[in-house]
Structure formats: C-alpha cells, structure tokens
Amino acid sequence: MTFFFHLHSGLRYLVLLAGVLAVAYFAFGLATQRPFDKVGRILGASYAGLLHTQVLVGICVLITRVYYPALIGHIVMMVLAAVVAQVCMSMNRRRTPPGYALPMAGVIVSLLFIVGGIMAIGRGVFMSTAF
C-alpha cells in the first residue's frame, strides 16, 4: 500500500521543521537565560509527538512494503532518535527548575540520528522519492 509510504515520506518534513523550530527556540532561551516556559514545553512535546507518529507510520510502511536488510539501520537509528528525544524531554520536566540545555541537546542528537537513519536507506533528507 503506497498510502503509508507517501504519508511516511511527507511527514519527515513536519518532523524536521518541528525539530529545527524547537532547537532555535531552546537556543534563544539558553542565550537570553530565560526560565523554561510553556512555549518551550509545547515545541518539545510537538517534536517528540510527531516523531512518535512517524515511528508508528513507519511500522505500517514496514508491514506493507518489501523488506530489505538496509532497513535495519534505518529502524535502529529512528528508534534511538525517538528514545533520546523523549528521555531528554521527560528528564527536563522532572528537573527543578527545568532548563533549555537538556532538551536542546536531546533534539540535536535526535535530529542527527534521523539524518543518519534516512541516509542508511540511501534517501535524501530534503527530497522525496516518487514510488
């Protein structure tokens, strides 16, 4: 079924956009030494939520498309990306006071895993493959 593939392919842009916006806001908060606020919480949660949605859609793609060994690298990197983002966001929420450095590091590391995961299957980070 190509529906999940196209959804998965397109959703990457939203995930990447949410990640870049979150990193920019966290960097701004860190530079201006403002207390961690609601906008930071929403941006972090949006990134982690979109990433989890992408993982779920990815599992649907896995079930509905042909499997090949290079997908292992893609899947491992993407699961690590989701875990790193979620753990950093959750740890930050429990901190008193929460800050910007931990969620920023979490999103940057997570984005690096995503780039690696997309490259693992020979696809472009900013380009779609028409199938």
Binding site for ligand HEM (CB under 6 A): 8-9, 12, 15, 51, 54-55, 58-59, 61-62, 65, 71, 74-75, 78-79, 81, 114, 118, 121, 123, 128-129
In angstroms, give the least distance from the CB of 21 to ligand HEM: 15
State the DSSP code for 34: P
- By beta-carbon proximity to ligand HEM, the closer residue of 43 and 114 is 114
Closest-by-Cβ residue to ligand HEM is 58
Complete DSSP assignment for 68-118 = -TTHHHHHHHHHHHHHHHHHHHHHHHHSSS--SHHHHHHHHHHHHHHHHHH
Tokens in use for 124? 């472009």
CB of 65 to ligand HEM, least distance (A): 5
- Residue 124 dihedral angles phi and psi, to the nearest 5°: -90, 145
CB of 29 to ligand HEM, least distance (A): 24
